């Protein structure tokens, strides 16, 4: 069967293995067995984004859950972090989100949270995979006669919005602030406009009409061109772009410049430090963060810890070190005093709180971090052998690292959700950095590339 879980759940093209109805049903059974086997009144929260294959997978997942005597509590289309919150709120046994995040509509995925609203550890994922790889999850439920039911949670969205607003200071207001929201035709299309409007902002919304096929299409946190143009056109103070399932935030300043996760984290960490809220004086990010973030944090006397790619690994390090802010340049940003996972809407609120505190435009605050030239190339691969076992690739990497000395870095890794090898090079000069990155990518393509 092969490895099912990647860096963020199970993901692939809908109606192709592993994103098939049969596997979703198997997963539903395995979740109940893993988190609540034999426990009466077991509840699993189930949410989704609006892509067209969500209904199919939701039905299968709920069937698997109910076959084990547990209840599937559906909350409809809501952001992934909303489900993490609702699991805690309802004292449920686990949560599942049907989403492929920033991927196009033809992909889908399954993300799991434990009863505390945390993403699963590698060990728990391995246990679930072992159950599913046995190929007979139906045997787990063959003696059950009192099956569960599918229930709905009609005001789940309101409870999530109340939770988000509870993270703000008393009497916080966005009166006089003009915001453009890009909802990516995804899971935030209703809750994001409702949230910022309720706080008094003048809100304009784009890409908030999902039809199941247009999620992430030329919009959202991955493609901000339309948002950048709209912010300048309507003279907004800020633009906020979310991805398909709402756990990422990328901002746009009042001049139309994109402000990614590294700069948002720097602004928020500095704000927390100045207000004596940055516990352990530490920010956690992944190895994909730009060297400019490390330098800017050092200038502010803030410590920096890095992890491998994946926001769940960031959160694991945050729990280990006691850090309260961390995330990824892609826009997954975690505020551990407020939530158990990355949340694009929460990150947006924290950024806006910092902007009000400094009373300065986003362009000025974001401009305090200098970005090292960075080139990232994705190479389609036919297999994923350990990079260290590819002698030609390793030789080229070592050659580039010698040229960069301590003025840059090389990172070569596989995507956890796609058949891609990602080659990233940072260096002091843009043209040379691009040349170095392409030279490594060429060798990767020759060694393991697919047409």
Domain CATH code at residue 422: 3.30.310.50
List pLDDT tens digits, range 71-115: 999 999 999 999 999 999 999 999 999 999 999 999 999 999 999
Which range among 35-39, 144-148, 161-165, 283-287 shows the weakest confidence by mean pLDDT?
Answer: 35-39
In a domain? residue 395: yes
List pLDDT tens digits, range 387-424: 999 999 999 999 999 999 878 899 999 987 788 999 99
List pLDDT tens digits, range 179-209: 999 999 999 999 999 999 999 999 999 999 9
Residues with catalytic function: 101
Are 57 and 9 in contact, with CB atoms under 8 Å apart?
A: no
Tell me what the mean pLDDT of segment 288-316 comes to.
Answer: 93
Please check whether residues 308 and 286 belong to one and the same domain: yes
Which residue range(s) make up the domain with 222?
Answer: 177-258
Please check whether residues 128 and 51 belong to one and the same domain: yes
For 183, the 3-state DSSP assignment is coil
Please check whether residues 362 and 417 belong to one and the same domain: no
Please check whether residues 181 and 284 belong to one and the same domain: no
CA distance 317 to 309: 12
Whether the predicted pLDDT of 159 surpasses 60: yes
Are 375 and 443 in contact, with CB atoms under 8 Å apart?
A: no
Please check whether residues 204 and 291 belong to one and the same domain: no
List pLDDT tens digits, range 309-359: 888 899 999 999 999 999 999 999 999 999 999 999 999 999 999 999 999
- The kind and range of the H/E element at 57 are helix 54-67
Please check whether residues 70 and 45 belong to one and the same domain: yes
The whole-model pTM stands at: 0.90
User: For residue 288, what pLDDT is reported?
Assistant: 87
Considering 318, 341, 366, which residue would you say is the last residue of a domain? 366
What residues are paired with 10 via a beta bridge?
Answer: 110
Number of folded domains in the chain? 4
Tell me what the mean pLDDT of segment 107-131 comes to.
Answer: 94
Please check whether residues 60 and 197 belong to one and the same domain: no
In a domain? residue 350: yes
Residue 308 belongs to domain with CATH number: 3.40.120.10
Are 34 and 64 in contact, with CB atoms under 8 Å apart?
A: no
What residues are paired with 327 via a beta bridge?
Answer: 285, 333
List pLDDT tens digits, range 236-253: 999 999 999 999 999 999
In a domain? residue 339: yes
List pLDDT tens digits, range 175-184: 999 999 999 9
Query: Please, what is the average pLDDT of the chain?
Result: 95
């Amino acid at each position: 069967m092969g490895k099912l879980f990647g860096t963020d759940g199970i993901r692939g093209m809908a109606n192709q293995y592993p994103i098939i109805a049969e596997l979703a049903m198997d997963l539903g059974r395995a979740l109940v067995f893993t988190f609540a086997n034999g426990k009466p009144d077991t509840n699993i929260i189930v949410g989704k984004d609006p892509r067209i294959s969500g209904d199919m997978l939701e039905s299968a997942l709920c069937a698997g859950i109910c076959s084990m005597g547990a209840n599937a509590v559906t909350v409809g289309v809501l952001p992934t972090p909303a489900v993490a919150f609702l699991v805690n709120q309802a004292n449920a046994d686990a949560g599942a989100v049907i989403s492929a995040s920033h991927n196009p509509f033809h992909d889908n995925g399954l993300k799991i949270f434990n009863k505390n609203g945390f993403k699963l550890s590698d060990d728990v994922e391995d246990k679930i995979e072992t159950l599913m790889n046995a190929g007979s999850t139906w045997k787990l439920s063959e003696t059950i006669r009192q099956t569960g039911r599918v229930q709905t949670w009609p005001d789940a969205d309101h409870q999530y919005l109340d939770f988000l607003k509870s993270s703000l200071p008393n009497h916080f207001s966005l009166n006089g602030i003009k915001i453009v929201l890009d909802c990516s035709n995804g899971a935030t299309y209703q809750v994001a406009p409702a949230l910022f409007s309720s706080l008094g902002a003048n809100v304009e919304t784009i890409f908030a009409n999902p039809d199941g096929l247009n999620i992430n299409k030329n919009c959202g946190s991955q493609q901000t061109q339309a948002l950048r143009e709209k912010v300048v056109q309507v003279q907004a103070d800020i633009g906020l772009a979310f991805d398909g399932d709402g756990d990422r935030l990328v901002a746009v300043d009042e001049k139309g410049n994109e402000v990614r996760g590294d700069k948002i984290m720097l602004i928020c960490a500095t704000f927390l430090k100045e207000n004596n809220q940055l516990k352990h004086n530490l920010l956690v990010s992944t190895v994909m963060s730009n060297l400019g973030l490390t330098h800017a944090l050092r200038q502010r006397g803030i410590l920096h810890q890095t992890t491998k790619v994946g926001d769940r690994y960031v959160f694991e390090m945050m729990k280990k070190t006691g850090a309260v802010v961390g995330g990824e340049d892609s826009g997954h940003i975690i505020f551990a005093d407020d939530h158990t996972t990355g949340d694009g809407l929460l990150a947006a609120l924290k950024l806006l709180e910092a902007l009000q505190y400094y009373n300065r435009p986003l362009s000025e605050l974001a401009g305090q971090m200098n970005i090292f030239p960075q080139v990232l190339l994705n190479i389609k691969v036919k297999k994923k052998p350990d990079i260290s076992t590819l002698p030609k690739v390793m030789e080229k990497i070592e050659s580039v690292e010698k040229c960069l000395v301590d003025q840059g870095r090389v990172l070569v890794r596989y995507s956890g959700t796609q058949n891609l090898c990602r080659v990233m090079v940072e260096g002091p000069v843009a043209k040379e950095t691009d040349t170095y990155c392409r030279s490594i990518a060429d060798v990767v393509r020759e060694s393991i590339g697919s047409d």
